[in-house]
Amino acid sequence: MKLLYLSDSYLPSESANSVHVMKMCSALANSGHSVTVACYLEKGSIVEPFDYYGVGKKFDLLNIARSRIPGMNRMTRFLTARKTLAAQHGYELVYGRDLYGVLGASLGNGDLIYEAHTPPRSYMDHLCCRMLFGRSNFLRLVVISQALKFEFLRRFPSIGESRVMVAHDGADIPDSDAVPMTDLGREGVMQLGYVGSMLPGKGADLVARLAGELPQFDFHIVGGSSQQIAALKAEFASENLYLHGHVQHAAVIKYLRAFDIALFPMQSSVIVSDGTDIAKWTSPMKLFEYMAASRTIIASDFPVIREILIDGRNATLVPPDQVDCWISAIKDLARQPDRRKTLAVNALEDLKHSYTWDSRAVAVLS
């Protein structure tokens, strides 16, 4: 099938949005589809987008023109979708995470699927969703958690439960020859790490605090800007805390493989760059990458996280804001290498069974 994937992603970039788009489109291509991705290509980047995300060059990238007029980029994406479909390239399906692009595409005759990772963020978004869901060529809404499905059905009951599909995020199963980072911390010391952004509520500050409370272990944070790293260093100065900054996505597996325990310290409110709180709806890609790397996971205990993790089977779940519980969980796992191994093996098996990008790509088009 010839498929047009509409995004508002900047490629390459540090955003989780861009990782999701590239991994999904790679998986769609793996399923045998011919895929073209509409995106904002970063001119002058010294890194090829396919190399940056560690995916093969199996699909095409279509650059979206940018406008310097505030608010006009939504209209630009709307018009780009209309123009691309009008050019009669033979696309059989439009799939996208860009609401405005998908809405533009809906004015044509082709079938389309919209994927949402948050509820509508404004009155205009809400209005666009209502228009989109009423179109005769709208097939399905894909969301990343049961919690988000319930929220969309609450706001748009007319869409019908059968047209809302839950597809959690995913991860690729890493190559067996992915070599762990060496000299990551002190020799003979247990290594604990967090991979992700330093946005408010992601929990990087909790990792830094744990480092101060547990000097017998090494703690690592992979991610964050230079300004965020400087601010964290100013507040926490533990010698056993290593701040590595942002790394290319393709290199993340090397860090994960060097960790004895992977930490997922999300808090009750997670504010992303546009001010949206995503904590209730999230399906964090890093969590699946922890599972794919077969790491022992300690994670915050939230209903949306329990959609993926089972305490005592593939992870240890603890109250997000109770530092003493995190300390106890770390100490307990440090004393139980067999339990760590069991949790890690189960996490990988669950990932293989339910959460690979390839299986997700098949499911959303089924």
Alpha carbons within 13 angstroms on the beta-carbon side of residue 167 total 25
Nearest to 39 by CA among 136, 30, 53: 53
Q: 3-class SS at 195?
A: strand
| Cα distances (angstroms) measured from residue 219 to each of 3, 192, 300 | 43, 5, 17
Nearest to 193 by CA among 268, 251, 265, 278: 265
Q: What are phi and psi of 18, to 5 degrees?
A: -70, -35
In order of start, what are the domains of the chain with their CATH numbers? 2-167 (3.40.50.2000), 191-354 (3.40.50.2000)
| Cα distances (angstroms) measured from residue 110 to each of 37, 88, 127 | 16, 11, 21
Residue 44 pLDDT greater than 80, yes or no:
no
Which residue matches tokens 């790490």?
A: 193
Which amino acid, one-letter code, is at 31? S
Q: What pTM was estimated for this model as a whole?
A: 0.94
Do 295 and 259 form a contact (C-beta atoms < 8 A)?
yes
Per-residue pLDDT tens digits for 112-170: 999 999 999 999 999 999 999 999 999 999 999 999 999 999 999 999 999 999 999 99
Alpha-carbon distance 21 to 7, whole Å? Answer: 7
Query: Taking the CA atoms of the chain, what radius of gyration do you get in angstroms?
Result: 21
The residue among 46 and 229 whose pLDDT is bigger is 229
Per-residue pLDDT tens digits for 270-279: 988 777 888 9
Q: 3-class SS at 275?
A: coil
Nearest to 295 by CA among 270, 334, 261, 269: 261
Residue 165: alpha-carbon gap to chain centroid: 18
Nearest to 104 by CA among 24, 4, 1: 4
Do 114 and 99 form a contact (C-beta atoms < 8 A)?
yes
Split at pLDDT 50, 70, 90, the class of 10 is: very high
Query: Which residues are CB-neighbours of 98 under 8 A, at least 6 positions away?
Result: 6, 7, 8, 38, 77
Alpha-carbon distance 287 to 317, whole Å? Answer: 13
Do 201 and 272 form a contact (C-beta atoms < 8 A)?
no
β-sheet bridge partners, residue 113? 95, 140
pLDDT at 222: 97
- Determine if residue 224 is left, alpha or beta; phi over 0 gives left, psi from -120 to 50 gives alpha, anything else beta: left
Across 46-60, 207-221, 239-253, the highest mean pLDDT is recorded for 207-221
Do 142 and 115 form a contact (C-beta atoms < 8 A)?
yes
With a pLDDT cut of 90, the percent of the chain lying above it is 84
Alpha-carbon distance 262 to 286, whole Å? Answer: 10
| Structure-token pair, residue 41 | 């290509």
